[in-house]
Chain A
Amino acid sequence: MLEKKEFETNDFLWRLSSAVAVVSGLFSLIVFLLLIFNYVQIRNIDPIDNLLITQMRQEYASLPEKDDALAQRIRDLDLLNRKAFFTSQHHLRTGAVLLFIGVSIFMISFKGAFRWKRELPKLDETPTADKEFLAFAQSRQLITWAGVGILALGMASALLTESLVMKNANASVAPEGGDAAKAGDGKEPIQVAKAEIALPTWDSMEKNWPSFRGPGSLATAHFTTAPVDWDIATGSGVRWKVEIPLPGANSPVIWENKLFVSGADKDKREIYCFDINEGKVLWSKTVEDLPGGSQAPPKVSEDTGYAAPSMVAHGGRVFAIFAEGDLVAYDLDGNRLWGINVGVPQNHYGHSSSLLAYDKFLYVQLDQKVDPKLMALDVATGKQLWMAKRSTISWASPILAQTDFGPQLILNSEETVDAYDPITGTQLWSQVCLSGEVAPSPCYKNGIVFAANEYAVATAIQLEKPGDAIEPKVLWEYDEYLPEVASPVGDGERFYFGTSGGTLVCLNAKTGEKLWSEDMSDGFYSSPVLVGDRIYVADTGGKMYIVKASSTFELIATRDMGEQVFATPAFMDGRMYVRTQKHLYCIEQKANA
Chain B
Amino acid sequence: MKTVRSLLVVGLFLLPAMLSVAAEMRFPPPDFQTDYKIPDLNSPAPVSSNGTRDAIILFIALSVTTWMVFKARSRRGLFIISIFSLAYFGFYRTGCICPVGSTQNVMAAVFLPDVGVSVAVLSFFVMPLLFSLFFGRVFCASVCPLGAIQELVAIAPIRISPALDRTLGLGRYVYLGLAVLGVATGSGFFICRWDPFVGIYRMGHSFGMLLAGGAILTLGIFVARPYCRFLCPYGIMLGWMSRFSKWHLDIPPSPCVKCRLCENSCPYNAINMPIPSHLVGDPEAGKRRIRRLVYVSPLIIAVGATLGYLSYEPLSRMHPKVALSERIAAENIGKLTTDTLETRTFRAGKQTVDELNAQAVQIREYFKTGGAWFGGFLALIICLKLIGLSTAPKRDIYTPNKETCFSCGRCYPYCPVEPLPKRS
Contacts and interface: CB of A to CB of B under 8 A. Distances in A.
Contacts of B399: none
B315 to A, nearest CB: 8
B44 interface: no
A343 B335 CA distance: 12
Contacts of B263: 121, 123-124, 128
17 contacts: A1-B416, A6-B75, A29-B9, A39-B22, A43-B23, A92-B19, A96-B203, A99-B17, A106-B13, A121-B262, A132-B272, A140-B386, A143-B389, A146-B167, A158-B314, A168-B333, A370-B347
Given A35-B16, A39-B16, A294-B334, A132 B273 contact: yes
A592 interface: no
Most buried by A among B17, B303, B348, B379: B17
Contact of B275 (A89, A128, A143, A369): A128
Interface residues of B, number: 92
B421 interface: yes
Nearest to A78: B30
Which residue, of B15, B265, B390, has the highest number of chain A Cβ atoms within 10 A? B15
Nearest to B262: A121
A144 B333 contact: no
A293 B329 CA distance: 12
A164 B310 contact: no
B32 interface: yes
Given A154-B375, A157-B314, A133 B170 contact: no
A341 interface: yes
Contacts of B361: 165-166
B1 interface: no
A416 to B, nearest CB: 16
Counting chain A CB atoms within 10 Å of each CB, the highest count among B265, B304, B325, B389 belongs to B389
B424 to A, nearest CB: 12
B311 interface: yes
Contact of B332 (A42, A129, A343): A343
A158 B310 contact: yes
Interface stretch (B63-71, B100-108, B132-140, B157-165): B157-165
Interface stretch (B52-60, B239-247, B349-357): B349-357
A328 B325 CA distance: 24
Contacts of B329: 164-165, 168
Interface stretch (A107-115, A262-270, A580-588): A107-115
Contact of B163 (A138, A164, A373): A138
Contact of A99 (B16, B264, B314): B16
A179 to B, nearest CB: 25
B32 to A, nearest CB: 7
Nearest to A113: B155
Interface string A138-166: 11111110110011001101100111111
Given A93-B20, A143-B382, A135 B161 contact: yes
Nearest to B12: A32
Interface in A471-519: none
B19 A28 contact: no
Contacts of A279: none
Contact of B303 (A110, A151, A343): A151
Contacts of B325: 165
Given A4-B413, A341-B332, 6 more contacts: A124-B263, A124-B264, A139-B167, A140-B390, A146-B167, A296-B334
B389 A136 contact: yes
Contacts of B25: 48
Nearest to B330: A164
Contacts of B378: 150
B294 interface: no
Given A128-B274, A133-B281, A158-B314, A139 B155 contact: no
B163 A129 contact: no
Given A141-B163, A151-B307, A157-B314, A371 B347 contact: yes
B307 A154 contact: yes
B308 A154 contact: yes
B39 interface: no
Interface string B362-396: 00100000000001001100100110011010000
A343 B152 CA distance: 53
A71 interface: yes
A142 B354 contact: no
Nearest 6 A/B pairs, CB to CB: A138-B163, A370-B347, A1-B416, A35-B16, A164-B329, A96-B20
B299 interface: no
Contacts of A371: 347, 352-353
Interface in B293-313: 300, 303-304, 307-308, 310-311, 313
B311 A154 contact: yes
A249 interface: no
Interface of A: 1-7, 25, 28-29, 31-32, 35-36, 39, 42-43, 47-48, 71, 74-75, 78, 88-89, 92-93, 95-96, 99-100, 102-103, 106-107, 110-111, 114, 121-124, 128-129, 131-133, 135-136, 138-144, 146-147, 150-151, 154-155, 157-158, 161-166, 168-169, 292-296, 341, 343-344, 346, 369-371, 373, 384, 387, 389
Contact of A389 (B153, B332, B352): B352
A222 B133 CA distance: 89
Interface of B: 6, 9-10, 12-17, 19-25, 27-28, 30, 32, 34, 75, 152-153, 155-156, 161-164, 166-167, 170, 174, 203, 260-265, 272-276, 279, 281, 300, 303-304, 307-308, 310-311, 313-314, 317, 325-326, 329-330, 332-335, 337, 347-348, 350, 352-354, 357, 360-361, 364, 375, 378-379, 382, 385-386, 389-390, 392, 413-414, 416, 418, 420-421
B13 A29 contact: yes
A143 B313 contact: no
Contacts of B20: 35, 39, 92-93, 95-96, 99
A157 B332 CA distance: 24
Nearest to B275: A129
A292 B332 CA distance: 9
Nearest to B354: A387
Given A107-B155, A150-B378, A163-B313, A25 B413 contact: no
A143 B274 contact: no
Contacts of B27: 47-48
A39 B21 CA distance: 10
Contacts of A293: 333-335
B23 A39 contact: yes
A164 B32 contact: no
B167 A111 contact: no
Contacts of A29: 9, 12-13
Contacts of A142: 163-164, 166-167
A158 B354 contact: no
A124 B314 CA distance: 47
Contacts of A7: 413
A251 B104 CA distance: 61
B275 A132 contact: yes
A2 B264 CA distance: 15
A136 B166 CA distance: 10
Contact of A139 (B30, B163, B275, B364): B163
Nearest to A296: B334
A533 B128 CA distance: 90
B190 to A, nearest CB: 17
B86 to A, nearest CB: 12
A141 B75 CA distance: 36
B392 A136 contact: yes
Contact of A121 (B28, B153, B265, B317): B265
A333 to B, nearest CB: 29
A92 B23 contact: yes
A38 to B, nearest CB: 8
Given A39-B20, A92-B20, A142-B167, A147 B382 contact: yes
A288 to B, nearest CB: 13
A123 B260 contact: yes
A39 B20 CA distance: 7
A486 B162 CA distance: 80
